[in-house]
Structure 1
Amino acid sequence: MKITNIEAFILESPYENHAPEGSEEARGVKHCFLLKVSTDEGITGWSDIETSSHVGAAVVDAPDSGSGAFEGLKVLAIGEDPFDVERLWDKIYRGSIYYGRRGVAMQMLSGFDIACHDIIGKSIGKPIHKILGGGRREQVRAYASTLFRPTPQAMKEACAFYMERGFTAVKFGWGVFGRDPKQDIKLVAAAREALGPDIELMVDPGWMVNRSAYDAVQLCRNLEPYNIYWLEDFLHPENYEGYGKVKAAGVKTRLAAGEQEATGWGFRELIQRGGIDVVQPDLTRCGGFTQARKIMWEAEHAGVDVCPHAWLTDLNTAASLHINAVLPRSLFLEYNVSDSPMLREVIQDPVQMDNSGYIPVPQGPGLGIEINEAAVRKFSVNL
């Protein structure tokens, strides 16, 4: 089997990306990037990628430089066997190294790796969790991943909506959080009051807020009365020493981070220097399944949990479900609840949560998710 084509699709939502003004759901991202890898046997693999979509398309289509180190994804991968995921990962990493190593080049490599695993699974008729070593569970507890609402009342109304849908865990992030420290606490207090003691509550206060480690310690302690499950990505993603200082301060709350991190060796730094309790690799940003396997080993060796970050279409949701299936210990599946027709319509068979708040791990070949290519073309702006 040989790769014959790699296509980049830039999708554009009809809605702007704004934080909620009341209790309503956010519309989500303005642009979404999809990658399609085709083969000479007619089998295709897909991935969504959380990236700057227009920059990502340039990485896919960049021409041969002649140097072997500034190459685009097509130049490096067309003609290759998609089964050779380890060798291809290294070839593409080295072939883009003068403009890559992290950022959009790593994100394109991540999506390509996911698409290759999708192809492998479809070729042999097995779901990806079988390729990764076998599932330990058939369903994963989901948490609703959403944005902070601007008022305590709006927070309570949003929580009621998620409970009605059957979620047993909710994460609020970004939005207005960080503008007013006293209001921040009131928002979390309102969420805990509405959710009650038994539904898990997570907080992502936004790393773009410029906090010191001291500020983060104070935030953790101010939130302790509300029994949050974890505090996520509260410092700059490369501030490993800052994370370490927060952990050393003896805070009671779990510390989670890693959606901006990549590669097994990158997560080793975050785990060892940052001292975090939960690593959150995004499969479309960390290096795909090939690096996720290494990240899982680093986490298991250090005695910390893994909970993948996933905030795009059900392609990423499915990839995260397969990782959750093979983890020795699974915490949650992050489920993007944003109200976006662009993100929903491109999936032919979306994942479904049951009445107990769990989502089944796909059992079909590859990712186990089918793409609605008509909807992809409907929202594409680069065809």
Structure 2
Amino acid sequence: MKNIFSRLTSSAQPADRREFIRNAGLGGLTLGMLFDGKFEQETEFITQKVKRDSKPSELKITDMRVAVLQGVPFSSPIIRIDTNQGLVGWGEVRDGASANYALMLKSRILGKNPCNVEQLFKVIKQFGNHSRAAGGVCGVEMALWDLAGKAYNVPAYQMLGGKYRDYIRLYADTPEGKNYEEFAVNMNKRKEQGYSFLKMDFGIGMLADKPGMLVNANNWSVKRQWDDKEMGKLGNYATTKHPFTRIQITKKGIDALVEHVGRVRDIVGYDTPLAADHFGHFDVNTAIQIGEAMEPFRLAWLEDLVPWFYTDHWKQISDAIETPTLTGEDIFLKEEFIKLIDAKAIDMVHPDLASSGGLLETKKIGDYAEEKGVPMAMHFAGSPICMMANVHCAAATENFVALEHHGVDVPGWEDLVTGMKPIVEKGFVKVPDKPGLGVELNEEVAKKFLKKGATWFAPTDTWNTRDSNDREWS
């Protein structure tokens, strides 16, 4: 038998022999006969394609460091987790959040196997909370999936159960202009870039300096919806929950918003989905008035009309208007999404993966919504590291609609990573098949975005030791 094999392969190179064996199946010959029962040679042969730079069961976290980037499009702390086998995992704290939210978790994961993603998530999730406070937990979870994928040599989506789609649709904010003519030029630019789903901002902020359009707005800083540095006579508008401002919109104000949205819709056309966000701080009644006025324009959704935690208010609004309602970018973990879904308070969910709990938790949110017939759009405003975490999750979730992209106009945004070029093509991202998240931080480019005064992945030994008892029960 050995002579037959020798004659068949004697003139071939070693690689050719292996190819011959694979293709021919040896005509029924066993490996035992081929290698005369030599176990070591058999093992070497059958594992020749196995990736040898990682032994997942022996992988351990040895370090975690952070570099804070600015202008991507906002501030984004990038997490780097190192291991004993040379594998590096990348994650990202949510835009506008503190890097310390991640660093405080280092002592909880140091020395642990990053492949046990769900187990480690349960250890650290108690240190997250809604909105930016979840940034550390979610950023670490991203990096763990990146490491697990690299250790097992599979893309992150595969570990989430596989993918439903090969391309992820993006939606881009509508770039406004000084006038409608300039806006039309900007909109044509978006269409030329290939974006087939758009979002615009409009609300009471654009009416604040015009007479007769708002009631009770003069003593609030209505144009400062996000900036909490300026106080008005009645308090801080940015941090006052919507129902408590008692700002109302007049018929004249409603007419102005209708004219504005109508002209935008004419520019965009009705073949393109157009969503809306950033309306201002007002109560349920005003939200319903605005929602009813927008119904002729068939908007894809009205986003964050009131804070997400007012479930009853959301149900009142959703029951009163025909345009779909949506919220969720500041919600941490699936439980609060479940409350909104079960109450039939909103028409769509809108998690930000960097706040909602990371890849697996966001998929769980999407899966629950899908069972109840609720679609999922995804909020995102960060670097390509976080985008790719979103892409893998979106690929693995059936009811996904579209992913936000805030960095469209940031020069050099795509160059922040290597391993995928281009990232965005004609308004879509191709789901990568490379291990983990599928990209690596391009340190040469990323250093150009380093926040002023920040240090590039400085040592974090002061965070190595845990100084509290974390148990949540007795």
Q: TM-score higher than 0.5 here?
A: yes
Aligned position for 2:151: 123
Deviation of residue 11 (structure 1)? Answer: 1.5
Aligned position for 1:211: 282
Deviation of residue 78 (structure 1)? Answer: 1.0
Q: 2:214 aligned with 1:156, yes or no?
A: no
Deviates more, 1:112-121 or 1:316-325: 316-325
Aligned position for 1:69: none
Q: 2:226 aligned with 1:184, yes or no?
A: no
Deviation of residue 360 (structure 1)? Answer: 1.2
Alignment CA distance shift 1:337-1:58 (3 Å)? closer
8 A Cα contact 2:353 2:379, kept in partner: yes
Deviation of residue 289 (structure 1)? Answer: 1.5
Deviation of residue 351 (structure 1)? Answer: 4.6
Aligned position for 1:41: 85
Q: What amino acid does structure 2 have at the position aligned with 1:28?
A: P
Q: What amino acid does structure 1 have at the position aligned with 2:263?
A: A
Q: 2:73 aligned with 1:28, yes or no?
A: yes
Q: Note the aligned Cα RMSD (angstroms).
A: 2.2
Q: Could you tell me how far apart the structure 1 residues matched to 2:269 and 2:329 are? A: 28
8 A Cα contact 1:318 1:368, kept in partner: yes
Aligned position for 1:140: 168
SS at match of 2:76: strand
Q: 2:254 aligned with 1:227, yes or no?
A: no
Q: What amino acid does structure 1 have at the position aligned with 2:350?
A: Q
Among 244, 249, 265, which residue is 2:315 paired with? 244
Alignment CA distance shift 1:128-1:163 (3 Å)? same
Deviates more, 1:191-200 or 1:315-324: 315-324
Q: Deviations over 1:179-221 (max 9, x none)?
A: 3244433332222111112111111134xx2121111111111
Deviation of residue 368 (structure 1)? Answer: 1.1
Tell me how many residue pairs correspond in the alignment: 348
Q: What amino acid does structure 1 have at the position aligned with 2:259?
A: K
Among 339, 352, 357, which residue is 2:409 paired with? 339
Deviation of residue 279 (structure 1)? Answer: 0.8
8 A Cα contact 2:129 2:332, kept in partner: no
8 A Cα contact 1:129 1:325, kept in partner: yes
Where does structure 1 lack aligned partners over 5 or more consecutive residues? Answer: 14-26, 62-71
SS at match of 1:331: strand
Q: Could you tell me how far apart the structure 2 residues matched to 1:177 and 1:352 are? A: 36
Deviation of residue 273 (structure 1)? Answer: 3.7
Q: Could you tell me how far apart the structure 2 residues matched to 1:78 and 1:32 are? A: 23
SS at match of 2:401: coil
Q: Deviations over 1:292-322 (max 9, x none)?
A: 1321232123220111111212222222221
Q: Could you tell me how far apart the structure 2 residues matched to 1:354 and 1:190 are? A: 28
Q: What amino acid does structure 2 have at the position aligned with 1:170?
A: L
Q: Could you tell me how far apart the structure 1 residues matched to 2:344 and 2:181 are? A: 36
Deviation of residue 163 (structure 1)? Answer: 0.9
Q: Which has the larger radius of gyration?
A: 2
Q: What amino acid does structure 1 have at the position aligned with 2:73?
A: G
Aligned position for 2:386: 316
Among 261, 267, 287, which residue is 1:194 paired with? 267
Alignment CA distance shift 1:340-1:199 (3 Å)? same
Among 281, 290, 297, which residue is 2:367 paired with? 297
Q: Could you tell me how far apart the structure 1 residues matched to 2:204 and 2:89 are? A: 38
8 A Cα contact 2:131 2:329, kept in partner: no
User: Counterparts of 1:250-261 in structure 2 under 5 Å?
Assistant: 251-261=321-331
Q: Deviations over 1:254-300 (max 9, x none)?
A: 11110011101121123234621111111111110231132123212
Q: Could you tell me how far apart the structure 1 residues matched to 2:339 and 2:422 are? A: 34
Q: 2:449 aligned with 1:379, yes or no?
A: yes
Q: Could you tell me how far apart the structure 2 residues matched to 1:177 and 1:339 are? A: 26
8 A Cα contact 1:230 1:254, kept in partner: yes
8 A Cα contact 2:414 2:423, kept in partner: no
8 A Cα contact 2:367 2:397, kept in partner: no
Alignment CA distance shift 1:193-1:105 (3 Å)? closer
Deviation of residue 343 (structure 1)? Answer: 4.0
Q: Could you tell me how far apart the structure 2 residues matched to 1:259 and 1:148 are? A: 23
SS at match of 1:284: helix
8 A Cα contact 1:342 1:379, kept in partner: no
Aligned position for 1:288: 358
Deviation of residue 113 (structure 1)? Answer: 0.4
Q: 2:110 aligned with 1:78, yes or no?
A: yes
Q: Deviations over 1:67-88 (max 9, x none)?
A: xxxxx21111111111111211
8 A Cα contact 2:94 2:132, kept in partner: no
Q: Could you tell me how far apart the structure 2 residues matched to 1:93 and 1:2 are? A: 20
SS at match of 2:361: helix
8 A Cα contact 2:61 2:110, kept in partner: yes
SS at match of 1:178: helix
Deviation of residue 146 (structure 1)? Answer: 4.4
Alignment CA distance shift 1:147-1:328 (3 Å)? same
8 A Cα contact 1:243 1:275, kept in partner: yes
Q: What amino acid does structure 2 have at the position aligned with 1:237?
A: W
8 A Cα contact 1:85 1:113, kept in partner: yes
Where does structure 2 lack aligned partners over 5 or more consecutive residues? Answer: 1-58, 208-252, 456-474
8 A Cα contact 1:350 1:369, kept in partner: no
TM-score under structure 1 normalisation?
Answer: 0.84
8 A Cα contact 2:157 2:395, kept in partner: yes
Deviation of residue 342 (structure 1)? Answer: 6.6
Deviation of residue 58 (structure 1)? Answer: 2.5
